[in-house]
Amino acid sequence: MNLGGLQAVKSMSVPSSSLSRKSGDGVSDQFPAGLRVLVVDDDPICLLILEKMLKKCLYEVTKCNRAELALNYLRENKNGYDIVISDVHMPDMDGFKLLEHVGLEMDLPVIMMSADDGKKVVMKGITHGAVDYLIKPVRIEALKNIWQHVVRKNKDEYKGKDCEQTGSVEDGEQQQKPPEDAEYSSSANEGNWKNSKKRKDEEDEAEERDDTSSLKKPRVVWSVELHQQFVTAVNHLGLDKAVPKKILELMNVPGLTRENVASHLQYRLYLRRLSGVSQHQNGLNNAFMGPTDATFGSMSSFNGIELQALASSGQLPPQSLAIIQAAALGRATNKSPVPVPLVDQRNLFSFESPKLRFGEDSLLNNNSKQINLLHGIPTNMEPKQLATLHQSAQSLGNLNMQLQSQSSQSGSLLTQRPQSQPRTPLLNEINGSHVSTLPSSLGQPIMSQALPSSVLPRNGIENVRGGTFGSVSQPSSALDFSVNHGTEFPGNSFPLMSNSGIPILTSKGMLQEEVKSEMKVPRGYLPNYDTFDELNQNRTQDWGVQTDGSTFDVSQHSNLQGSLDVSPSILVQQGFSSNLKSEQSRNIPVSKATFAVGDSRAGNISNPSQQLNSSPADISQRIKAERLPNMGFQNTFFPEQFGQDDLMSALLKQQEGTGAVESEFGFDGYHLDNLPV
């Protein structure tokens, strides 16, 4: 509310109250007369007395004896009240809960009151964000002054709006979406998340400082920047370990209290619940884009959590994780404009997913669903997400984090499954190498990648691990990107399952994002290809590893986002050819990996990688499977792939038969395990 509005309200209510105005008021202008107060207390005596007192202060009083009723009043008439006075102990709802609701939904100042004057209770009121705490019996003098809280809050809101703060109300967030998008785009354009984050940190700190300096600690407005910090912190910690205290420490925002973080965390959960229930993809986009990335971040984490849960069940993880990663990656790399193309890609993915489903259709479905969910989110988040991903990749501790930072995930995949790791870099390499010696190089990179430790030392792998993809795959930007991912990967503890799943998922879910990232990576990796070729030749066992590598590549692809477009096709061909040549089960997977890489984004890659894991037959199937998605994405290389598609589908079917856990993506770790190395 602003004073102007208040004045307006005041003027409306003044006629009734001015008549009974007491001389004791002594206020020259009419304010604070007419202040609209909502009193909530289950004790009728208190209610009556308070009403009388407030009327004596020339306020407009609405009283209700139940918290739910009060919330209804507030929701029906969003701007109908200036301040809320609530009792602490109420039978139907705890006063603090009401306080939180009002704060989050309507952002009105709330005064708590109670006969209880214990320090703990008063502290609780303060930490929950009450602007004041009155001890019963309440005296009229205490009530005369409550208008100060309204003025103070308005002042803060003004300040917040200047800094593009978003209220906790989604509506407000949506309105602010355009400026936020621009902001994100610009920050993403910078390509350096940390820089932008630092900027925002400074802004946030400045805001916070202002707030704290001007007031004791009025309600914290979760600006975009602040929320981004929050999201980053949560990503860092991982959803499981994202406790308010740690988040607070990570955020390192002066003036922010643990309680603020705690309630914000709850709010994000609440929003996510709302959005998950009522929102479609687009809805999610709107909802989250409004609230900005913050929401997205939280959502991603939540999605990640869900996905992880699924992953743990062994069914969904790879895919969902991939999707999440893809989403995260996509967002990170993509700017706001991406959403549109991404949507298309998404459709492609969903289209392809049926094809890909050789193992577990349900997983795919889940993935696609998740993709939808993710798609909705990424749009706004992309720039930030990318930054988040980069950051979180470093310190990923849990899957959630991995999900958040898909790029990092691919890295983590590597760590968890050495085999898978190689794949990713391999895939990346494959992407990079593109049209070049795909067949051989594909095999090699995969091999190198596949080998958990041994491969890594090799060009690609090492790069992957150290995130120095550049060294392996000379491509500049793409590799760098993948390199980043590589570094992130080690940190990730992403299970192999997820690896396989992720690539696919990422490709599927994150079509939007992956397209971009993938595009980058493949190019980068193509040069690596050559090096990998050598590697491939050196080891037969590497094939198995390669499969991992391919998986890895795939996952990386997803991370890369978008870079795959070009390379995938190439890679696919190469992979395919390599598969055909080697006739080794392992080789096939490798080729598949490459295949996938080349063909389509992660989606394709995931397929190959999956296949890599499985037996040769599977591999061929995978290749096929990979092909299928590839086809969706890679137009150029489709014809070439068709021939192999049959083989791939056959392989895929076999894989399914073998019970590829990852389902579509099964090539990750799980498959690798199956491979007789």
Per CB under 8 A, residues contacting other proteins are 20, 42-46, 48-49, 52-53, 56, 87, 89, 91, 114-116, 136-140
Cα–Cα distance between 484 and 469 in angstroms, integer? Answer: 8
The least distance separating other proteins from the CB of residue 140, rounded to whole angstroms, comes to: 7
Closest CA relative to residue 613, chosen from 472, 449, 494, 466? 449
The least distance separating other proteins from the CB of residue 40, rounded to whole angstroms, comes to: 14
Q: Which is nearer to other proteins, 122 or 310 (CB)?
A: 122
Q: Which is nearer to other proteins, 46 or 233 (CB)?
A: 46
The least distance separating other proteins from the CB of residue 219, rounded to whole angstroms, comes to: 26
348-380 per-residue burial string, b: 16 or more CB within 10 A, e: under 16: bbbebbebbbbbbeebbbbbbbbbbbbbbbbbb
Residue 563's SS3 state is strand
- Cis before 137 (ω within 30): yes
The least distance separating other proteins from the CB of residue 144, rounded to whole angstroms, comes to: 13
Q: In the structure encoding, which two tokens stand for residue 663, read together?
A: 């389902």
The least distance separating other proteins from the CB of residue 45, rounded to whole angstroms, comes to: 5
Q: Which is nearer to other proteins, 98 or 455 (CB)?
A: 98
The least distance separating other proteins from the CB of residue 100, rounded to whole angstroms, comes to: 21
Cα–Cα distance between 237 and 301 in angstroms, integer? Answer: 10
Q: Which is nearer to other proteins, 114 or 658 (CB)?
A: 114
The least distance separating other proteins from the CB of residue 19, rounded to whole angstroms, comes to: 10
Closest CA relative to residue 558, chosen from 403, 440, 677? 403
Is beta strand 110-114 parallel, antiparallel or unpaired with respect to 83-87?
parallel
Name the helix (H) or strand (E) containing 630: helix 616-633
Name the helix (H) or strand (E) containing 339: helix 339-356
The least distance separating other proteins from the CB of residue 85, rounded to whole angstroms, comes to: 14
Q: Which is nearer to other proteins, 116 or 583 (CB)?
A: 116
**Structure letter (DSSP) for residue 38:** E
Q: Which is nearer to other proteins, 43 or 534 (CB)?
A: 43
Q: Which is nearer to other proteins, 118 or 178 (CB)?
A: 118
Q: What share of the chain is helix, strand, coil (3-state, %, to 5)?
A: 75, 5, 25
Q: Is 285 exposed, middle or buried (0-12, 13-18, 19+ CB in 10 A)?
A: buried
The least distance separating other proteins from the CB of residue 134, rounded to whole angstroms, comes to: 12
Q: Which is nearer to other proteins, 45 or 277 (CB)?
A: 45
Q: Which is nearer to other proteins, 118 or 639 (CB)?
A: 118
The least distance separating other proteins from the CB of residue 89, rounded to whole angstroms, comes to: 6
The least distance separating other proteins from the CB of residue 179, rounded to whole angstroms, comes to: 47
- Measured in whole angstroms, the distance separating CA 372 from the mean position of its chain's CA atoms is 13
The least distance separating other proteins from the CB of residue 195, rounded to whole angstroms, comes to: 54
Closest CA relative to residue 513, chosen from 389, 667, 362? 389
Beta bridge partners of 165: 223
**Which position has the token pair 């400026």?**
179
Q: Which is nearer to other proteins, 52 or 78 (CB)?
A: 52
Closest CA relative to residue 445, chosen from 580, 575, 600? 575
The least distance separating other proteins from the CB of residue 108, rounded to whole angstroms, comes to: 23
Name the helix (H) or strand (E) containing 34: none
The least distance separating other proteins from the CB of residue 376, rounded to whole angstroms, comes to: 44
Q: Is the dihedral of CA 194, 199, 200, 204 positive or negative?
A: positive
Name the helix (H) or strand (E) containing 36: strand 36-40
The least distance separating other proteins from the CB of residue 49, rounded to whole angstroms, comes to: 5
Where helices occur in 434-476 by DSSP H, the ranges are: 438-450, 459-466, 469-472
By the 8 A CB rule, do 597 and 557 touch?
yes
Q: Which is nearer to other proteins, 41 or 530 (CB)?
A: 41
Q: Which is nearer to other proteins, 114 or 303 (CB)?
A: 114
Q: Which is nearer to other proteins, 24 or 676 (CB)?
A: 24
Q: Which is nearer to other proteins, 87 or 183 (CB)?
A: 87
By the 8 A CB rule, do 551 and 671 touch?
yes
**Structure letter (DSSP) for residue 219:** P
496-529 per-residue burial string, b: 16 or more CB within 10 A, e: under 16: bbbbbbbbbbbbbbbbbbbbbbbbbbbbbbbbbb
Q: Which is nearer to other proteins, 56 or 241 (CB)?
A: 56
The least distance separating other proteins from the CB of residue 266, rounded to whole angstroms, comes to: 24
Q: Which is nearer to other proteins, 140 or 206 (CB)?
A: 140
Q: Which is nearer to other proteins, 56 or 581 (CB)?
A: 56
Beta bridge partners of 64: 40
Cα–Cα distance between 251 and 271 in angstroms, integer? Answer: 21
Residue 478's SS3 state is helix
Cα–Cα distance between 480 and 469 in angstroms, integer? Answer: 6
Q: Helix 406-416 to helix 317-333 angle, to the nearest 10 degrees? A: 140
Contacts 24+ apart (CB under 8 A), 236-239: 236/391, 236/392, 236/395, 236/397, 236/401, 237/397, 237/401, 238/396, 238/397, 238/398, 238/399, 238/400, 238/401, 239/301, 239/302, 239/304, 239/305, 239/308, 239/398, 239/400, 239/401
The least distance separating other proteins from the CB of residue 406, rounded to whole angstroms, comes to: 48
Closest CA relative to residue 511, chosen from 652, 333, 283, 299? 333
